[in-house]
Amino acid sequence: MRKGPLQAGEKVQFTDRRGKKITDQLVPGGTTQTEHGLILHDEVIGRPEGSVTVTVSAKREAQVNAQHPERDAGKPWKGARAIGGWQFVVMRPRLADYVLSMPRGAQIMYPKDIAQVIQLGDIRSGMTVLESGAGSGAMSINLLDAVGETGHLTTIEMRGEFARVAEANATVYYGSRPQWWDLLTGDFDTVAATLPEHSFDRIMLDMLDPWNRLEQAYRVIAPGGVLICYVTTTTQLSRLAEALRESGVWTEPDVQETLERNWKVQGLAVRPDHQMIGHTGFLVVSRAMAEGFEALKKRDRPAKDTTSDIDEMTAEERAAQLEELELRDISDRKLRKVLRDLDAQVAALPDTEGAADATDVGGSDVGVTGGAGALM
């Protein structure tokens, strides 16, 4: 963790009084463009966190494309004068801010999901963790922080270019490449087959088909170790949960999703923000059984059928399915009771003259024939 005065090469976050945040890397002689002028990096380097810097006025000519100025012909603001005098507070970004602002090769996991991975996966200092799917490095950096220098993280990434992006983002965040991190490229099963058995305390899978990787994951995880998977669709979720159950070596999966909503608080005016971060993915958590022991089966009463599409059935099959599911249409006796209750409620209204006429027409003497099918 970096402390003390801000140094060249560090990422910093500029925040104005409206809460707008800009994350940039400090470079000697560099500037950060804002809507209200330029922030001079030389005035920030060497200052403590929490200091305030003021923008200076400058022409925005540097933004105009020098090779193809015609591309900016319809953007007059790029040649306008940016009026300075706007204040920004300078801080080192929190990890949550950093991962949202860093360059991305692949979509990142949101901080709300990353926090749940660390908590639900019980990932702590000194542990050995296996991760599949580095992406842009958001999850990797958080795992590196969680295990610390006394632990170890091994990441398997299929695509070499994504591995380079993740490695660069982690290097910029820490100031140098973390020495407690092995970043391997290749297919998960192929690379995991080269790793020692039962050598990892925790496994994090962020991939398209984690249900196809459970065999190798079980081979390398320690008994009692926690497996946590991140999937985005209900189809993936269903396949993964059923594969965990069918394997017999993983405990009953626990499934969660996290929704995030900010609140605005100004005096007594307290209300939720109009926007929120809704569904981004599902987290599936399970634990590894010891060899020779089978996971206990949860005895929930399942639905009688979870695979058939009722719209594709014949009339006879549909009727049999309804009977099997114990779905019954309302009985004649029940219907008459409902109508009597409604008649009484209508009659109790202040103006019942019109309602009484309507009741006489239908009333409680409505003939119900042919059972519930005639009512549909």
Whether residue 101 is predicted with pLDDT greater than 90 in this model: the reply is no
The tens digit of pLDDT for each residue in 114-159 reads 999 999 999 999 999 999 988 889 999 999 999 999 999 999 999 8
Give the rounded distance of the alpha carbon of 139 from its chain centre. Answer: 11
Q: Maximum Cα–Cα distance for the chain, whole Å?
A: 91
Q: Which range scores top for mean pLDDT: 45-49, 96-100, 350-354?
A: 45-49
pLDDT of residue 201: 98
Give tens-digit pLDDT for 192-222. Answer: 999 999 999 999 999 999 999 999 999 999 9
How many angstroms separate the CA atoms of 277 and 115, rounded?
Answer: 14
Cβ count within 10 A of residue 252: 14
pLDDT at 370: 42
pLDDT digits (tens, 9 = 90+) for 284-328: 999 999 999 999 987 766 555 555 555 667 777 766 665 655 444
Q: Domains in the chain, start-ordered, CATH in brackets? A: 11-93 (3.10.330.20), 97-287 (3.40.50.150), 305-358 (no CATH)
pTM above threshold 0.85: no
Distance of alpha carbon 95 from alpha carbon 315, whole angstroms: 59
> Who contacts 210 (Cβ-Cβ below 8 Å, separation ≥6)?
132, 229, 231, 236, 240, 284
If pLDDT is split at 50, 70 and 90, which confidence band does 376 have? very low
User: Between helices 138-147 and 111-120, what is the axis angle to 10°?
Assistant: 40
